[in-house]
Structure 1
């Protein structure tokens, strides 16, 4: 997806796109689910499952009703604040593109939260759902979605792969995020396959995330070191 350039970067930070309205609509849907399900929820709602898929944590139905909409609204508000106050890290950073990308990524995160809310609500109401499968599958799809946009993120202080070396140099940032996009998509595909095998689900979430983090941290350091030794030349 291509993003057109705009000269009025300050105004673009406060702009509301269709993707923003979509996020607000999903948050409204989360609130409606909480309100409509509340009278039918048990006093204590399952809130955590162990590796075997057994419930090992609960929260009150009031806390459960508030939790996901509050987290989603908090993420949205924080995103707006950070977008407004974030300083530029580079002359190459286009604030319009950065704001647009953050909106798309926010869509994925808020939808993920909504999926988790729905499956927890279904489980609390006694419906037969495999929560381990849904969480693993939703995480896989989120990784694939985010991976498609990661390589387009320009250097900034508040989202992306922020190691000391990516924050220090545009080239290191660009190369690390380009690799990171491919790795996130690959990790998502691996998670997607592993989600269909119950014994592999705990590893499916933890393993790929840890591996991708280690690879990208090391890669950003190596690229930075190579550029430093060559005087900034690729």
Structure 2
């Protein structure tokens, strides 16, 4: 039996998407026509500037991503007649909202805030914000069911439900604990070493999770062949 009710997550999807889209429109039409930081190096220094159109386009892209990922996950969750699959898709909807909304907030603080007179965030505090996003994403990632948009989406994970579950649970645990470390250590970590180690740790967690999906698929007697 399908469940087409408009849930709190659906309302959050509409709110987050609309907020990012409205910010994109405001930047394009109302924001001061000044240079905006578009990229920072490992030391936290601006190494590329852009105009307000480029920043508006970036926010517009984030809004589209929120609508596609969270919106589609919510739609298919409501259309599913399997309660377990519905829960997995709702978890993916929540994870995508946290990730896209959190990244958009960091972009707004770093690029828009700096050009409007606010102090740009120190790298350490950016690490703390990244840690908060990773903790929330990690807490939900292990509950995400198979889908083409969110999670450890490897060919092996799609051929083995066991590989999907274990690789996503591993990724969730790794991101969660990494996020806690960033929250606690971010303000005190020496820079740019802290930012470089953070980037390397995120890449390592992703690679480890991909390897786990292959390892579990290979040993799963119920796996589907290629």
Q: Specify the TM-score bucket, using the shorter chain as the normaliser.
A: 0.7 to 0.9
For 2:179, the equivalent position in structure 1 comes to 188
For 1:208, the equivalent position in structure 2 comes to 201
- Do residues 59 (structure 1) and 15 (structure 2) align? no
For 1:109, the equivalent position in structure 2 comes to 99
- Do residues 16 (structure 1) and 16 (structure 2) align? no
Gapped runs of 5+ residues in structure 1?
1-6
Normalising by structure 2, report the TM-score: 0.79
- Do residues 71 (structure 1) and 64 (structure 2) align? no
Q: SS of the counterpart of 1:47? A: strand
Per-residue CA deviations over 1:127-184 (Å, capped at 9, x if unaligned) read 2232533432222111110111111112223321112221111112112222222111
Instruction: State the 4+ residue runs in structure 1 displaced beyond 6 angstroms.
Output: none
Cα displacement (A) at 1:71: 2.1
For 2:150, the equivalent position in structure 1 comes to 159
Aligned residues of 1:119 and 1:131 also touching (Cα < 8 A):
no
Normalising by structure 1, report the TM-score: 0.77
Aligned residues of 1:23 and 1:106 also touching (Cα < 8 A):
no
Q: Over aligned residues, Cα RMSD in angstroms?
A: 3.1
Aligned residues of 1:109 and 1:142 also touching (Cα < 8 A):
yes
1:177–1:36: structure 2 CA closer, same or farther, 3 Å change rule? closer
For 1:4, the equivalent position in structure 2 comes to none
Aligned residues of 1:151 and 1:180 also touching (Cα < 8 A):
yes
